[in-house]
Amino acid sequence: MNHANSLKIKNSTLLSLLAPGLAIYLFVIIVPLFTALGYSLTNWMGGLDKTFIGLENYAALVKDEIFWSSLRNNLLIVLLTVIIQMGLAFLLTVLFMSKAMKLKEVHRTVIFLPVVLSAVVVGFIWQMIYSNDYGLLNAILKSLGLENLISPWLDDPDQVIFSVTVPLIWQYLGVPLIIFMSAVQGIPKDIYEVCELDGVGGIKKAVFITFPLIYDTIKVAIMLSISSNMLVFSHIYVMTGGGPGTSSMVLAQYAYNTSFNSMQLGYGSSIAIGIFIISFGIIIIFKKLAEVKQE
């Protein structure tokens, strides 16, 4: 068998292995994306009739106050999640690297366990925790004599977006933690041994050794966090339904409400395309800024 035939067999084998995944990606991601783009150019209201209206939906979207307030909520969630969740994950990674840390596997398992829970289940759990009548959080504050801190966590428009962000941070903290720990395990142990011989430890080792060496991994984790939190839906839908008013409304829920509650499927599709464009743009901007920072 000559080299050309061998190469053809390898390519055909590779293609056959990739084909199922590519087919799934095509029909689950690409086809719906272009279908939504097509619908966004119509005034489709759920019936058989669809009238092409060009960019009218997008012109209306630019003037839509609920869309922009939902975007602000999404951006706030992204900002809080990236800062708090990534910060906690990095600190926990450093802690798990410490020789003084005991039962590391148990702690990692406990932290990662919420990730496998359904987002709807997590939403219901935290709705009960935040409840004004029987909520665990207010009960704990009352038992500690901190009645002045008791608050209608999900009913106050000024703080509800912060309240709904906490379950997101809690549930998915295990994802960046596992990613960071995998990256740290790939760092040669000789580097840390030399640092210890030079008397470098604790915070300095974390800041000047661990952080730079896993910087690329941190960038990937942040981009994953941005993309997922721009699409957050289930937690908030269960806990608040976007309320009070629209104070906790996010883009995905606004698209859902517009498409399936109001049956404005054309306009709802334009919101979905808007989410895609904005999310993609934010990730590109972050990637460029991170590259500049690295240089």
Inter-residue contact 263 to 46 (CB < 8 Å): yes
Task: Identify the burial level of 10 via C-beta atoms within 10 angstroms of its C-beta, where 0-12 means exposed, 13-18 middle and 19 or more buried.
Answer: exposed
Please state which of the four CATH numbers 3.40.640.10, 3.40.720.10, 1.10.3720.10, 3.40.50.2300 is assigned to the domain occupying 56-294. Answer: 1.10.3720.10
For the chain of 295 residues, list the mean pLDDT of each consecutive stretch of 10: 61 82 89 93 87 94 95 96 94 83 81 92 94 89 88 92 95 94 87 74 80 91 93 94 93 94 93 94 90 63
The pLDDT of residue 265:
93
* Region label for 188, one of left (φ > 0), alpha (ψ between -120 and 50) or beta (otherwise): beta
Q: What integer pLDDT is reported at residue 279 of this predicted model?
A: 93
Domain chopping of the chain, boundaries: 1-39, 56-294
Task: Note the pTM of the prediction, 2 decimals.
Answer: 0.90
Report the pLDDT value the prediction gives residue 97, as an integer from 0 to 100. 80
